[in-house]
């Protein structure tokens, strides 16, 4: 039987829990139509989780009896994904898929060819939380405010840095050392001025494929390759 999972950072994990959060109750009662006797898992995004059995459910609240409690260490690799600000749907897709892959940190970057200058972080965090619930993870992905490329390179300087661009070296063939940062460019690619910034840094220029990938595709592939 499928056990539905819910992010609930403020719920105190006691033997008996009463959930009154309107959004959570709506999801359990009206959307999923959960029934008495079903098991649900609550997690706090920091490694704590609670498996409970529904004993009461109504439009206003859900009561749970504790069946199991967990506390876990974050085993994710320390990866910083510097990805481009694209149009809303593509940015949301990147955040969703990188979260599913278990990427720990996402930083949106503003480059010379970036068209958008800001992002709806509340919505992106909501999408990331839903992806965390769906993918069975217990730790949230950190999503940061958009920053300029030069500032991003400075921020990443304490890590091994990889720039996704056309190169004779491939990211998949690199021996990864963590913490690791990877940078993916916007639609249209990096400018010559940005490539000069990379040359002045200790970043490694690598390719993802022999073809030119869209920004969202490149971000997802780079995230997967960064894992090992």
Contact in structure between 37 and 3 (CB atoms under 8 Å) = no
pLDDT at 39: 97
The torsion region of residue 35 among left (phi > 0), alpha (psi -120 to 50) and beta comes to beta
Q: 11 pLDDT exceeds 80?
A: no
pLDDT at 1: 73
Q: How far apart are CA 135 and CA 219, in angstroms?
A: 19
| pLDDT, tens only, 63-75 | 999 999 989 999 9
Residues contacting 6, CB < 8 A, separation 6+: 24, 27, 28, 40, 41, 42, 43, 133
Q: 13 pLDDT exceeds 80?
A: no
pLDDT at 19: 93
Contact in structure between 43 and 28 (CB atoms under 8 Å) = no
pLDDT at 60: 95
pLDDT at 182: 98
pLDDT at 104: 96
Which domains, from first to last, does the chain contain?
4-71 (2.40.240.20), 79-226 (3.40.1280.10)
pLDDT at 125: 97
Q: How confident is the model at residue 157 (pLDDT cuts 50, 70, 90)?
A: very high
Q: 112 pLDDT exceeds 80?
A: yes
Contact in structure between 51 and 11 (CB atoms under 8 Å) = no
pTM of the model: 0.92
Q: 202 pLDDT exceeds 90?
A: no
Q: 9 pLDDT exceeds 80?
A: yes
Angle at 166 between CA 228 and CA 96, to 5 degrees: 50
Q: How far apart are CA 171 and CA 196, in angstroms?
A: 20
What mean pLDDT, rounded, does the chain reach?
95
Q: What is the dihedral of CA 172, 173, 175, 181, to 10 degrees?
A: -40
Residue 107's closest CA among 81, 137, 68?
A: 81
Mean pLDDT across the stretch 150-175?
A: 95
pLDDT at 135: 96
Angle between helix 88-101 and 121-134 (nearest 10) = 40
């Amino acid at each position: 039987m499928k056990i539905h999972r819910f992010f609930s950072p403020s719920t105190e994990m006691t033997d008996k829990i009463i959930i009154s959060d309107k959004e959570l109750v709506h999801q359990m009662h009206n959307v999923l139509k959960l029934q008495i006797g079903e098991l649900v898992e609550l997690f706090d995004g920091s490694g704590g989780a609670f498996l409970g059995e529904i004993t009461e459910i109504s439009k206003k609240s859900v009561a749970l009896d504790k069946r199991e409690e967990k506390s876990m260490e974050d085993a994710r690799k320390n990866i910083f994904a510097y990805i481009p600000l694209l149009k809303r749907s593509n940015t949301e897709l990147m955040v969703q898929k990188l979260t599913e892959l278990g990427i720990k940190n996402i930083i949106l970057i503003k480059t010379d060819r970036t068209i958008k200058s800001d992002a709806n972080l509340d919505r992106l965090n909501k999408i990331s939380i839903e992806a965390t619930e769906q993918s069975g993870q217990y730790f949230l992905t950190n999503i940061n405010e958009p920053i300029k490329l030069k500032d991003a390179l400075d921020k990443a300087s304490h890590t091994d840095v990889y720039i996704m661009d056309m190169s004779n070296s491939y990211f998949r063939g690199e021996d990864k050392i963590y913490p690791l940062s990877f940078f993916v460019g916007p639609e249209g690619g990096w400018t010559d001025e940005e490539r000069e910034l990379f040359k002045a840094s200790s970043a490694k220029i690598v390719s993802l494929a022999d073809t030119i990938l869209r920004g969202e595709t490149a971000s997802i592939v780079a995230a997967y390759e960064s894992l090992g």
